């Protein structure tokens, strides 16, 4: 299959190129030339397959002209090497827990698939993944690319602005993973990355990639777990499924809408956001009016200009869907906290702010008793340990995966917020 640039339909490239470049001309996002359809009988058939084989089949529909099903399956086996759990909260509300991967967030799915694909397609050249993080992405990228041949990873993050736990999770690996704390904020880090991509010397001598969430490979990977929902629920419940997605950059929701467009009979989606409510306001008023980003308890969703939104518009147009079929809800920090309390006190379920937002939005919208509601669990509560402990007055145990890193030494460099330091670092370390 080929992929086109949404902003310039003449720019058409294959999967390998889209994987390696990320963004097209005019900052355009790449989008599949067509959405492969799976008919009803075949959907039933693939729901009986195991997660790895089913996911390989689904992804092969997009990229089988560039990689054989056999090779793809081997890579998916390495990428998706952790379980997904569907936990029943009530008789008609469940949480799909996507956070049992190495860095305890759903981002492990997309980033680990991307790293396996880059490893597969990039045999000779040395590629540098240069990325900025405010927490979750950095950890997922560091672990996904650790020890992958011919790939060097450099992660920038704002000094003293992420939790010690988060920092230890990705700054203690070493080998091909270099981490740099910057005297500045997250925007400063992103700015330094942007300058590196624009620098003529660096561009001539290095192959740079950013691994951020606009990369089409990350989205394709995320389609797979929507099918897993259907395989884990009873056939009787399959015709009335509503899925609530905690949304920031809207990559997760885009993947869900692609799954629906392929033929998976998801009845309705709810886009759940925190107070950064550009999309809920847009769906009500038809006016796109992003406001200044607000810091909230669900910080991975503090986004006011969601960069995957153009893909969602494209999907609605292609399918002749009406935007008013998409439900949405913006949830305040106060209500988020109340929802965490309710889930614990009433159902004995411990959750964290992002997933709690999706739960609350689902509860507001699920009126019909026949409906079967799913909210996506995007992070492990231990990742937001301090916050959750304070609200619930408990002490969450850290999974062994995390305690292991707490003891290790932080290997980060520290640079001032000045491009010349990063540039010299890149030249001295990676240009012979
Ligand atoms: C990144 C992230 C989100 C938002 O996902 P998008 O695909 O950007 O909408 C939600 N929850 C958590 C825990 C995240 O890390």
45-49, 85-89, 200-204, 267-271: least confidently modelled range: 200-204
Q: In this structure, are 210 and 293 located in the same domain?
A: no
Q: In this structure, are 258 and 357 located in the same domain?
A: yes
Q: In this structure, are 188 and 265 located in the same domain?
A: no
Nearest ligand 1 atom to the CA of 250 is 9
Query: pTM to 2 decimals?
Result: 0.94
Q: In this structure, are 271 and 287 located in the same domain?
A: yes
Question: Average of pLDDT values for 296-301?
Answer: 91
Handedness of CA 390, 393, 397, 403 (dihedral sign): positive
Ligand 1 pocket (Cβ < 6 Å) reads: 105, 107, 136, 213, 246-252, 300-301, 354, 378-379
Q: Domain for residue 269, yes or no?
A: yes
132-136, 369-373, 387-391, 419-423: least confidently modelled range: 132-136
Q: Domain for residue 156, yes or no?
A: yes
146 pLDDT band, cuts 50/70/90, is very high
Question: Average of pLDDT values for 364-392?
Answer: 92
Q: Report the Cα 32 to chain-centroid distance in Å.
A: 18
Q: In this structure, are 306 and 186 located in the same domain?
A: no
Convert the pLDDT of each residue in 303-346 to its tens digit: 888 989 999 999 999 999 999 999 999 999 999 999 999 999 99
Q: Domain for residue 55, yes or no?
A: no
pLDDT of residue 78: 97
| CA–CA separation, 86 and 88 (whole Å) | 7
Nearest ligand 1 atom to the CA of 99 is 13
Q: In this structure, are 123 and 261 located in the same domain?
A: no
Query: How much distance in Å is there from the Cα of 358 to the middle of ligand 1?
Result: 11
CB 272 within 8 A of CB 329: yes
Convert the pLDDT of each residue in 375-388 to its tens digit: 999 999 998 999 99
pLDDT of residue 74: 98
Ligand 1 binding pocket mutation candidate from 136, 141, 256, 376 (most atoms within 8 A of CB): 136
Query: How much distance in Å is there from the Cα of 421 to the middle of ligand 1?
Result: 31
Q: In this structure, are 191 and 321 located in the same domain?
A: no
pLDDT of residue 70: 98
| CA–CA separation, 17 and 21 (whole Å) | 6
Q: In this structure, are 198 and 157 located in the same domain?
A: yes
Query: How much distance in Å is there from the Cα of 254 to the middle of ligand 1?
Result: 12
pLDDT of residue 170: 94
Task: Give, rounded to a whole angstrom, the gap between the first and last alpha carbons of the chain.
Answer: 37
Query: How much distance in Å is there from the Cα of 137 to the middle of ligand 1?
Result: 9
Q: Domain for residue 128, yes or no?
A: yes
Q: What CATH number does residue 365 fall under?
A: 3.40.50.1100
Q: Domain for residue 18, yes or no?
A: no
Query: How much distance in Å is there from the Cα of 22 to the middle of ligand 1?
Result: 19
Nearest ligand 1 atom to the CA of 252 is 7
Query: How much distance in Å is there from the Cα of 311 to the middle of ligand 1?
Result: 16
pLDDT above 70 covers what percent of the chain? 100
Average predicted confidence (pLDDT) for the chain: 94
Question: Average of pLDDT values for 390-417?
Answer: 92
Q: Domain for residue 34, yes or no?
A: no
Question: Average of pLDDT values for 29-36?
Answer: 96
Q: Domain for residue 304, yes or no?
A: yes
Q: In this structure, are 89 and 140 located in the same domain?
A: no
Q: In this structure, are 142 and 94 located in the same domain?
A: no
**How many folded domains does the chain comprise?**
2
3-state secondary structure the chain: CEEEECCEEEEEEEHHHHHHHCCCHHHCCEEECCCCCCCHHHHHHHHCCCHHHHHHHHHHHHHCCCCCHHHHHHHHHHHCCCCCEEEECCCCEEEEECCCCCCCECHHHHHHHHHHHHHHHCCCCCEEEEEECCCHHHHHHHHHHCCCCCEEEEEEEECCCCCHHHHHHHHCCCCCEEEEEEECCHHHHHHHHHHHHHCHHHHHHCEEECCCCCCHHHHHHHHHHHHHHHHHCCHHHHHHEEEEEECCCCHHHHHHHHHHHHCCCCCEEEEEECCCCHHHHHHHHCCCCCCCCCCCCCHHHCCCCCCCHHHHHHHHHHHCCCHHHCEEEECCHHHHHHHHHHHHHHHCCCCCHHHHHHHHHHHHHCCCCCCEEEEEECECHHHHHHHHHHHHCCCCCCCHHHHHHHCCCCCCEEEECCHHHHHHHHHHHHCC
pLDDT of residue 248: 93
pLDDT of residue 199: 92
Q: Domain for residue 116, yes or no?
A: yes
Question: Average of pLDDT values for 423-431?
Answer: 93
Q: In this structure, are 154 and 229 located in the same domain?
A: no
Q: In this structure, are 320 and 237 located in the same domain?
A: yes
Q: Can you give the residue range of the structural domain that contains 281?
A: 83-103+216-392
């Amino acid at each position: 299959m080929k992929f086109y640039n949404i902003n310039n339909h003449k720019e058409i490239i294959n999967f390998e190129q889209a994987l390696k470049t990320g963004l097209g001309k005019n900052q355009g996002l790449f989008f599949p030339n067509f959405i492969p359809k799976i008919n009803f009988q075949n959907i039933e058939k693939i729901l009986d397959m195991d997660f790895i084989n089913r996911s390989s089949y689904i992804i092969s529909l997009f990229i089988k002209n560039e990689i054989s099903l056999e090779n793809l399956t081997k890579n998916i086996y390495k990428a998706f090497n952790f379980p997904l759990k569907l936990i029943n909260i009530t008789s008609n509300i469940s949480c799909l827990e996507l956070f049992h991967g190495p860095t305890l967030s759903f981002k492990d799915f997309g980033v680990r698939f991307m790293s396996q694909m880059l490893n597969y397609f990039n045999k000779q050249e040395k590629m540098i993944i240069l990325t900025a993080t405010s927490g979750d992405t950095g950890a997922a990228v560091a672990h996904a690319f650790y020890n992958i041949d011919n790939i060097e990873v450099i992660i920038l993050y704002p000094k003293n602005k992420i939790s010690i736990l988060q920092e230890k999770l990705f700054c203690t690996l070493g080998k091909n993973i270099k981490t740099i704390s910057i005297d500045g904020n997250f925007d400063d880090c992103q700015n330094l990355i942007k300058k590196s991509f624009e620098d003529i010397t660096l561009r001539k001598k290095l192959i740079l990639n950013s691994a951020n969430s606009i990369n089409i490979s990350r989205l394709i990977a995320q389609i797979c777990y929507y099918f897993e929902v259907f395989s884990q629920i009873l056939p009787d419940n399959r015709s009335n499924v509503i899925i609530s997605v905690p949304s920031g950059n809207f990559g997760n929701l885009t993947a869900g809408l692609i799954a629906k467009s392929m033929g998976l009979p998801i009845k309705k989606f709810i886009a759940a956001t925190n107070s950064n409510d550009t999309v809920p306001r847009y769906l009500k008023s038809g006016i796109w009016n992003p406001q200044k980003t607000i810091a909230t308890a669900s910080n991975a969703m503090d986004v006011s200009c969601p960069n995957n939104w153009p893909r969602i518009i494209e999907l609605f147009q292609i399918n002749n869907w009406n935007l008013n079929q998409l439900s949405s809800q913006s949830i305040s920090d106060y209500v988020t906290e109340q929802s965490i309390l309710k889930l614990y006190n009433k159902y004995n379920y411990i959750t964290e702010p992002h997933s709690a937002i999706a739960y609350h939005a689902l509860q507001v919208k699920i009126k019909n008793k026949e409906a079967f509601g799913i909210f996506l669990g995007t992070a492990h509560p231990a990742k937001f340990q301090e916050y959750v402990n304070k609200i619930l007055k408990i002490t969450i145990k850290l999974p062994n995966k995390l305690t292991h890193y707490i003891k290790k030494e932080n290997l980060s460099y520290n640079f001032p917020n000045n491009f010349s330091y990063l540039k010299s670092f890149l030249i001295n370390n990676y240009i012979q």
